[in-house]
Amino acid sequence: MSQQIVNRSSGPIDPMVRSRPLPKHSLLIGFGVVAIALLAFVSSSAPVFYGHMIVMTLIYAALATSWNIIGGFAGQLSLGHAAFFGLGAYTSSILFVDFGISPWIGLLIALLGGATLGLLIGIPTFRLRGPYFALATLALGIILLNVAVHFRELTGGHVGISLPPTEGWGTMTFLNRWQYVVIAGGYLLVCLLISGIILSNRFGYQLAAVREDEEAARALGVNATRVKLLAGTLSGGLAAGIGTIYAQYILFLTPDSVLGTAVSIEIIVLAIVGGSGKLYGPLLGAVLLIPAGQLVLREFGGALPGLHTLVYGVIVIIVILLFPRGIWGMLTDTAALINRRRKHS
């Protein structure tokens, strides 16, 4: 870590990214590929429970990372991100079941659909500030949920959609779990890479400026509406893409499982607990909370239903009160503090 001024109060920018953007990204790719290969190997031989845990962690990490672009980098609290996730899941599933279109093409269409929705929603709502924006996105999520419930012919309503278990890479459907680890892990890596590139570029600084003080950012010539729209488009598209992967993994969709308000809240919880606005914050949140939640659910789910969400709630409260910058923020703050102490002594 060179002699960079670390902006501790705000700034999503890791000093290392600022000084040498390229090596950092290749490091991320290298680490990511090795980690995915390891996880794929582990999941192919591990018990079903742990394999499932790995895939779900990767899926939620990707989802929270995509939320982070608009919710963290741009500081616009989206309470309706399940809308994008569900849109992606339903788009590819309907295309696959009703029209026989491969989920891979469905994934591309979901990406485009999510991005378009992000853009269309952003145009009117980015004028809203603070809690107004949060409430508008919350309403958007509920509208999409009810659209899925209402248009039964297309979505199956409350009954949902079951996807055919035709195994193979062409149909993105597998009996084993390691393929899903590769796909979801690869997708997560792409999300992280895009986020990293955003942070180390002018765009990332513009988003940080808008987040910290929109008026000041505008005064400095940042086109706040444009950068927020771009962030919303990217975030929506990436969230929709992981929806397709989730659908292909679970092979069963209901409005509540992909579009429910609980999904939107879970995304935010992961990102905030890990550290929103930080590149690896949402990933850390997912790595800590998804396995913990599943373990508690397995151990106590039968005897004490609700305990795993209780644990979630308590963690959220503790993190907000004690570590407002998330666990990642707390760790980097501590590291910076130790570093400084060492230099001074």
Partner 1 sequence: MTTIQILVSGVLIGGVYALLAVGITLVLGVMKIVNFAQGELLMVGMYLTLLLHTVLGLHPYVAFPIVVVALFGLGAGIHFGLLRWVVDRGHTQQIVLTLGIGIVLQSAALMIFGGSFQSLQIEPFRGGSIVIGSISIGTTRLAAFVVAGIATIALLFLLDRTLTGKAMRATAMDRDAATLMGIPVQRVYLITMGIGSALAGAAGVMLMPIYPVYPTVGVNILLIGFVVVVLGGLGSVAGAFLGGIIIGVVEALAGFWLGAAMSQIVVFALFIVILLVRPQGILKGDTV
Q: Which of 7, 138, 155 is nearest to 94 (CA)?
A: 155
Please report whether residue 131 would count as binding partner 1 according to CB under 8 A. Answer: yes
Question: 40 or 138, CB closer to partner 1?
Answer: 138
Indicate which single residue of 30, 34, 38, 150 sits in contact with partner 1 (rule: CB under 8 A).
150
Residue 312 in the binding site for partner 1 (CB under 8 A): yes
Report if residue 313 touches partner 1, rule: CB under 8 A: yes
Outline where the chain has alpha helix (H). Answer: 15-19, 21-45, 48-68, 82-99, 103-125, 130-150, 152-155, 178-199, 202-212, 214-219, 224-250, 255-259, 261-274, 281-300, 307-322, 326-344
**Which residues, other chains included, contact 282 with Cβ-Cβ below 8 Å and sequence gap of 6+?**
61, 64, 65, 67, 68, 72, 270, 271, 274, 275, 276
Give the residue with the Cβ less far from partner 1, 173 or 276: 276
| Per CB under 8 A, 210 contacts partner 1 | no
Number of other residues whose CB lies within 10 A of the CB of residue 237: 24
The tokens for 300 are 């106590």
Which of 164, 165, 170, 305 contacts partner 1 by CB under 8 A? 305
At 211, list the tokens.
């987040």
Does 239 bind partner 1 (CB under 8 A)? Our answer is no
* Gap between the Cα atoms of 282 and 64, Å rounded: 5
Nearest distance, CB of residue 320 and partner 1, angstroms: 5
Q: Which of 35, 37, 147, 330 binds partner 1 (CB under 8 A)?
A: 147
For partner 1, the closer of residues 170 and 324 by Cβ is 324
Toward partner 1, which CB reaches closer, 112 or 147?
147
Secondary structure of residue 47 in the 3-state scheme: coil
**216 contributes a contact to partner 1 by CB under 8 A:** no
- Identify which of residues 36 and 284 has a Cβ nearer to partner 1 in the complex: 284
- The residues that touch partner 1, with contacts defined as CB under 8 A, are 71, 75, 77, 79, 124-125, 127-128, 130-132, 134-136, 138-140, 142-143, 146-147, 149-150, 261, 265, 268-269, 272, 276, 304-307, 309-310, 312-314, 316-317, 320-321, 324
